[in-house]
Amino acid sequence: MSSQQRIERPVRRLAMISLHTSPLDQPGTGDAGGMNVYVIELAKRLAAQGTEVDIFTRATSSALEPVVDPYDGVRVRHIHAGPFEGLTKTELPGQLCVFAREVLRTEAAHPVGHYDAVHSHYWLSGQVGALARDRWGVPLVHSMHTMAKVKNEALADGDTPEPQARVIGEEQVVEAADLLVANTDLEAKQLINLYDAHAGRVEVVHPGVDLDVFRPRERADVRRELGLPVDADVLLFAGRIQPLKGPDVLLRAVAELLRRDPGLRERLVVPVVGGPSGSGLEHPDALATLARELGLDDVVRFVPPVAQDDLARWMAAATLVAVPSYNESFGLVAAEAQATGTPVVAAAVGGLTTVVRDGHSGLLVEGHEAGDWADAIARVLTEPVLAQRLRSGAVLQAKGFSWEATAQSMLAGYERARWMMRQEATA
């Protein structure tokens, strides 16, 4: 983009839309996960660089204040649209009109041109963002985070396919957006190949990691703080408990490891940090039941979702972090684990192939067979030279992902979207 093409006035105010889940919700349960972290961390870094951010999300409790200012320059607006509780994500499309009306009403209370751009997250938010774009005359930047066509190509056993209504809705958002933000090169290709996105409207911007929170710590110290044996082999799963995330894959691999080496049981601890989500809500005790059936009651510890500081301590305490997902647009858990200096054993799917450098910061596993996962985990546990190389490489790999860099790239993307919109208007 030439200097003549650049927008002189930077993006002063941004409307960010996260309809189905609030960035203030606790990640690891319900619909709260990496996207929640993404939205609030990006907003914080944008505000630090001079862009005020209003985040519009659906109120899920009458106790919530209409407006919350969690950080300087960041405002979360809770929109009343539908019942506070009991509304599933599949039922939310019926509330899009009400939500959109309230978003437009908020802007109408300000002078014309209050917002310079709209950034929507997930396809439901994109539907609202497209209306705001046309009403306000500002560009729509959209982040998919996950895509129905991609998820449906790699369903876990027992998972539910995404409905055709979502596929159609995503296609509409892709067509409406001035700029589509992909987390990785692979996601960019999926947008182009599966959704016919115009290549010139797709920008790759990697998410980041809070390197002040997720950092190496003395493993023995954090293990004592968490009540873990200092000399244990700690295999950690962190995330929402649902088929998509594959926590059962880790448990089956652990059972295979114990079958091969029963003596491992004396020093093995498998913390599962998170809560039921998505289709996992239909059988919230399924993972605990599986642990009992596999004879793992004495090694598996179920830990409710924890705040980011505590999650960082769990990761720093682990021997390795397992990420056996069937699909990940990026894989924030893997990036955060690596930032603590802990190797990751991850499925070779989606964004995980970008986040994890195979053989250097972790190990990538093709497929989800228990034997293959047991092989990879055993290598980290029994090959000290490899484990040390992975620990060192994990820290180096994580340094390539920072929220400050994400915010800088995103600001450039907003500017590019504004320029493209203006070019179209004058064409």
Q: How many CB atoms lie within 10 A of CB 386?
A: 15
pTM of the shown model: 0.89
Question: Residue 32 has what pLDDT?
Answer: 63
Check residue 277 and give its pLDDT. Answer: 56
pLDDT digits 0-9 by tens, 148-186: 999 998 887 778 899 999 999 999 999 999 999 999 999
Q: Is pLDDT of 246 > 60?
A: yes
List of residues 6+ apart from 259 with CB closer than 8 A: none
User: What average pLDDT does range 116-131 have in this prediction?
Assistant: 97
Residue 346 confidence (pLDDT)? 98
Dihedral Cα 354, 359, 363, 369, nearest 10 deg = 110
The DSSP bridge pattern shows strands 117-121 and 13-17 to be parallel
| Average pLDDT for 41-49 | 96
Residues 6+ apart with CB under 8 A from 266: none
Residue 94: DSSP 8-state: G
In this predicted structure, which of 38-42, 87-91, 349-353, 399-403 has the lowest mean pLDDT? 87-91
Section 387-399 average pLDDT: 97
Residue 7 has pLDDT above 50, yes or no: no
Percent of the chain with pLDDT over 70: 93
Binding residue ranges for 1D-myo-inositol 3-phosphate: 20, 31-36, 89, 122, 146, 166
Domain ranges of the chain: 13-208+403-426, 219-400
Residue range 13-208+403-426 forms a domain whose CATH class is alpha beta
User: 3-class SS at 71?
Assistant: strand
3-state SS string over 256-299? HHHHHCHHHHHHEEEEEECCECHHHHHCCCHHHHHHHHCCCCCC
pLDDT digits (tens, 9 = 90+) for 333-383: 999 999 999 999 999 999 999 999 999 999 999 999 999 999 999 999 999
pLDDT at 24: 84
Q: List, as residue ranges, the binding site for Mg(2+).
A: 315, 318, 342
Please state, in angstroms and rounded to a whole number, the distance separating the CA atoms of residues 363 and 359.
5
Give ∠ CA 276-280-281 in degrees, rounded to 5. 70
Q: How confident is the model at residue 27 (pLDDT cuts 50, 70, 90)?
A: low
Tell me which residue of 107, 146, 102, 142 sits closest to 125, measured CA to CA.
142
pLDDT score at 4? 40
Feature table: binding site for UDP-N-acetyl-alpha-D-glucosamine: 26-27, 34, 240, 245, 306, 328, 336
Q: DSSP 3-state assignment of 17?
A: strand
Torsion of CA 183, 391, 274, 94, to 10 degrees: 0
Given 2.40.10.10, 3.40.50.2000, 3.60.15.10, 3.90.1150.10, which CATH number is that of 219-400? 3.40.50.2000
Residues making up the annotated binding site are 20, 26-27, 31-36, 89, 122, 146, 166, 240, 245, 306, 315, 318, 328, 336, 342
For tokens 């089956």, the residue is: 252
The total number of residues shown for the chain amounts to 427
First to last CA, the chain: 17
d(CA 386, CA 264): 19
Q: Does the fold of domain 219-400 match that of domain 13-208+403-426?
A: yes
Q: What is the pLDDT of residue 69?
A: 96
pLDDT above 90 coverage of the chain, percent = 79
Average pLDDT, the chain: 91
